[in-house]
Chain A
């Protein structure tokens, strides 16, 4: 794994450990009253009114139907008799915090959504939509089995992994769309502020609650759905779900949230 020590002359090389520490420090300083692990709860960590509403809503969580469906789907055998459990370490239980990971054999980032569809294809099933209800249900169940476990994303000592991290970072900070927003515009510069009726979530811990039930959507949304709709909202044409850029972005954001607990599936306004 990478250490924060860098050789002389490597000023332009990313230093994930130091960068993650700086990133965390930025949010801790910006919100001194918020406990670190609370950032996994997004806007509810920053806005007391919203937090109380969420606690009420969570008595009967709106993602519960999806969670049940995901559990059932996960256990239902494919046509060849195998199940999702056969594709994952620990039978897929309690492993969400390790995704995405960098696959050294393939030389690319593998997300949980990608791994689930690959599992289907290997077992003779057609892939499901990355922005649809089935993917949301499956990831909801897997996230639920990891609740409370801290994100543990690794960047192996492989220049390609570091490049994927750097590409994710570049995507995060790059302005795009007619509104000229980057991901960071909302989630670094203005978390806790309102954009219309929404309270913007902090980038730290932003993926810990995924997938989420969004009242605005009237249903569940995967990480792919969140990324693509974010791009549309700023009037940018979204990339293909699970494109290399989005997977690298997920890798970068998840790495920065290392140590924060998985809180998904979540619910948002």
Chain B
């Protein structure tokens, strides 16, 4: 099938393609995460993990996520690094929640 397009339409397609290409690259650059984003996410994760440490309740999976974040950042894969850092922060916050709620909840298990 042959589609005949006018010269005006060809220009429209050209500009549309160019814009989509530019937009796609801009979007992927944002999604990939910058070094600044990673550093911010990692600092937040570290702060949460430190708080969990103060409660004597860190989780091995948080430590592993922080390590993965650092390794990815060393390879300049800031997309993965940021994702790992955010994951670490999420898990660290869960461990803080656990430690806080267990301050009283442990008594429910006690044999009396």
Q: Interface residues, chain A, CB within 8 Å of chain B? A: 19, 22-23, 26, 169-170, 173-178, 180, 182, 184, 188-189, 232, 235-237, 239, 245
B7 beta carbon closer than 8 Å to chain A: no
> Which residues of B are at the interface with A, using a C-beta cutoff of 8 A?
56-61, 63, 91, 94-95, 98-99, 102, 105-107, 109-112
Contact B57 A188 (CB under 8 A): no
> CB distance A188 to B60 under 8 Å?
no
B107 in contact with A178 (CB, 8 Å): no
Given contacts A235-B59, A237-B63, contact A174 B111 (CB under 8 A): no
With a CB–CB cut-off of 8 A, which chain B residues contact A26? Answer: 111
Q: Are B98 and A235 in contact (CB under 8 A)?
A: no
Of the candidates B60, B106, B111, the one whose C-beta lies within 8 Å of that of A170 is: B106
CB contact under 8 A between A236 and B102, given known A173-B109, A173-B110, A188-B111: no
Inter-chain contacts of B112 with A (CB < 8 A): 19, 22
What is the chain A residue whose CB lies nearest that of B112? Answer: A22
CB-contact partner of B59 in A23, A178, A184, A189, under 8 A: A178
Residues of B within 8 A of A169 (CB): 110
Given the known A-B contacts A22-B112, A26-B111, are A236 and B59 also in contact in the complex, defined by CB atoms under 8 Å? yes
> Are A174 and B60 interface neighbours, CB within 8 A?
no
Q: Which 7 residue pairs of A and B lie closest in terms of their CB atoms, listed nearest first?
A: A237-B58, A173-B106, A174-B106, A173-B109, A235-B60, A174-B102, A178-B59
Q: B91, B105, B111: which contacts A175 (Cβ < 8 A)?
A: B105
